[in-house]
Amino acid sequence: MEMSRKAANLIAASVSLKPDAVLGLATGDTPLGVYKCWIERHAGGEIDFSAATAFNLDEYRNIAPEAEQSYRRYMIDNLYSKIDMRPENRHIPDGLAADPATECERYEKLIAGCGGIDVQLLGIGHNGHIGFNEPGGEFVGNTHLVALSDSTIDANSRFFRRREDVPAEAYTMGIGTIMRARMIILVASGLGKAEIIHRALFGAVTPAVPASILQFHANVTIIGDAAALSMIDGI
């Protein structure tokens, strides 16, 4: 798909220019095409991830890393098993960490210790969430534990046998963690995202629409298919 190819190329360019780039990665349906492009290009010898580092945006709490629905497993199945990024350079919050506060601090320090994120890939939830920063009364800065909203649990229940099996909590990079990335690429596809894309980009900047904060980022690129961008005039 054209959208995925564009996003994949932009990030691949960053890795070519800076082989030890620090990438922020997302899960969900939308980035799958990006990962497919990278896998193909890697197989063709065009991209080398061997010096790159990656941090995932989020992970469910109380889910084993090898569980089918864990984001760690998603990353291995959809990307890491098919490219050459070193296992010690692939980071994701530990869903089984004993103490959430310690885990959040560890993750945040690890990102800072690697020099911060060069390029952050984002999807967007139907409610405007980025990572698992759900709509709320304030923007939360750093990596933190969140209670997932009903709409997110509904949306994600497609990956679980029963809705009750969807974890109620997740770790997520905070809005500050995301905004500190030097470059942000948000991908969106389908008519179901059209309204939220419009609100996020042209509506008020408010924690009620977490993605709206991206209006204040100096280097953000939105890449969507025609349906997702259909409510934006002039496109």
Strands 90-91 and 53-56: parallel
If binding means CB under 6 A, how many residues of this protein chain bind ligand F6R?
13
Q: At what angle do helices 2-17 and 32-43 cross, to 10 degrees?
A: 60
Q: How far is CA 206 from CA 69, 109, 136, 152, in A?
A: 31, 27, 9, 19
Residue 127 is among the residues annotated as catalytic for this protein: yes
Among the listed residues 2, 29, 105, 150, the single contact to ligand F6R using CB under 6 A = 29
Interaction of residue 30 with ligand F6R, rule CB under 6 A = yes
Among the listed residues 15, 47, 58, 210, the single contact to ligand F6R using CB under 6 A = 58
Select the span of 8-16, 44-52, 126-134, 219-227 touching ligand F6R (CB under 6 A). 126-134
Q: What angle do CA 119, 37, 197 make, to 5 degrees?
A: 55
- Burial of residue 234 (number of CB atoms within 10 Å: 0-12, 13-18, 19+): exposed
- Burial of residue 159 (number of CB atoms within 10 Å: 0-12, 13-18, 19+): middle
Residue 126 is among the residues annotated as catalytic for this protein: no
Among the listed residues 125, 174, 210, 224, the single contact to ligand F6R using CB under 6 A = 125
Interaction of residue 177 with ligand F6R, rule CB under 6 A = no
Residue 58 is among the residues annotated as catalytic for this protein: yes
- Find all residues with CB under 8 Å of 84, minimum gap 6, and list them: 42, 48, 49, 50
- Least separation in angstroms between residue 45's CB and ligand F6R is 29
Q: Name the active-site residue from 59, 118, 134, 225.
A: 134
Residue 217 is among the residues annotated as catalytic for this protein: no
Interaction of residue 57 with ligand F6R, rule CB under 6 A = yes
Catalytic (active-site) positions: 58, 127, 129, 134
Where along the sequence are the contacts to ligand F6R (CB under 6 A)? Answer: 26-30, 57-58, 123-125, 129-131
